[in-house]
């Protein structure tokens, strides 16, 4: 029995067979969704990304059936404010990489409490380190697939709460993302810049929301290479559970919480608490 609610293929406390390809090869995808007032937040962004990613990997998930199970799962567990994790694997298959014959994807739902911190980085700012782990180029760039070993090893580079997050570079020395977040900078000219994720990284749904918000409000957004040495006005990190974290310390440098960062943070928080 799990310490937290789990459904597998619509069955409470269901079992995952050891032959599942998600376990054997990381052959699957996941979404981490903040639940507020019993409802998934940024839901359209999450489900669109999941559907696109399943199509890209050739996993034939029934998205309507999945969403019905999500609603029933949250209702059955009386979830109000929580973190919902949705995992889709290709299902079970024989030994070897060939996915032929895997016609029944596995749907896994888990529910966790919202993260609790003694110090709120969203309000007070985040202290960030540069990780030694490097991200290589990948044909799976942008996807939130189940193989997250690079992030696991990067997060193991510090213990405790001395840092709130770590940033990862590619092998050319450009910043890509945090271990669990996307990166934005505000230039001295007032433009918003986020790393280009064409070759690595995860294209987060909170990132998508912020890009749309900025464009709607006339803020210039650029997706481009971001060097590790940052001479910028503001920095912030984001994900769909924590919202926006202004960066106040990084590599011996300090920043205040800038006005554009605060504006975007408040807009994202409003969306996550809707």
The residues assigned a catalytic role are 32, 144, 177
Structural tokens at position 62: 């029934």
Nearest partner of 73 among 115, 36, 110, 47, judged by Cα: 110
Nearest partner of 13 among 28, 31, 1, judged by Cα: 1
* Residues 200, 223: Cα–Cα separation, whole Å: 13
Burial code of 164-188, b = ≥16 C-beta within 10 A, e = fewer? bbbbbbbeeebbbbbbbbbbbbbee
* Residues 240, 205: Cα–Cα separation, whole Å: 7
What are the backbone angles phi and psi of residue 6, rounded to the nearest 5°? Answer: -140, 130
* Residues 185, 246: Cα–Cα separation, whole Å: 10
């Amino acid at each position: 029995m799990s310490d937290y609610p789990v459904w597998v293929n619509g069955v409470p406390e269901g079992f995952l067979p050891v032959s599942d390809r998600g376990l054997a090869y990381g052959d699957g995808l996941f979404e981490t969704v903040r639940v507020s007032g019993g409802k998934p937040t940024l839901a359209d962004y999450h489900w669109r990304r999941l559907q696109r990613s399943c199509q890209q990997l050739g996993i034939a998930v029934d998205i309507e059936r999945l969403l019905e199970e999500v609603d029933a799962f949250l209702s059955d567990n009386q979830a109000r404010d929580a973190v919902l994790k949705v995992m889709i694997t290709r299902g079970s298959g024989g030994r070897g990489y060939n996915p032929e014959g895997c016609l029944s994807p596995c749907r896994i739902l888990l529910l966790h409490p919202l993260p609790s911190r003694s110090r709120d980085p969203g309000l007070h700012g985040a202290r960030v380190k540069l990780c030694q782990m490097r991200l290589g180029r990948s044909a799976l760039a942008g996807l939130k697939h189940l193989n997250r070993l690079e992030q696991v090893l990067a997060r193991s580079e510090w213990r405790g709460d001395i840092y709130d997050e770590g940033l990862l570079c590619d092998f050319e020395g450009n910043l890509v993302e945090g271990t669990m977040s996307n990166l934005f900078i505000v230039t001295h000219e007032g433009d918003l810049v986020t790393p280009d994720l064409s070759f690595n990284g995860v294209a987060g749904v909170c990132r998508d929301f912020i890009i749309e918000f900025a464009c709607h409000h006339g803020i210039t957004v650029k997706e481009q290479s971001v060097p590790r040495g940052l001479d910028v006005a503001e920095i912030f990190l984001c994900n769909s559970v924590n919202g926006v974290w202004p960066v106040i310390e990084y590599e011996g440098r300090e920043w205040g919480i800038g006005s554009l960062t605060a504006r975007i943070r408040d807009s994202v928080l409003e969306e996550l608490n809707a």
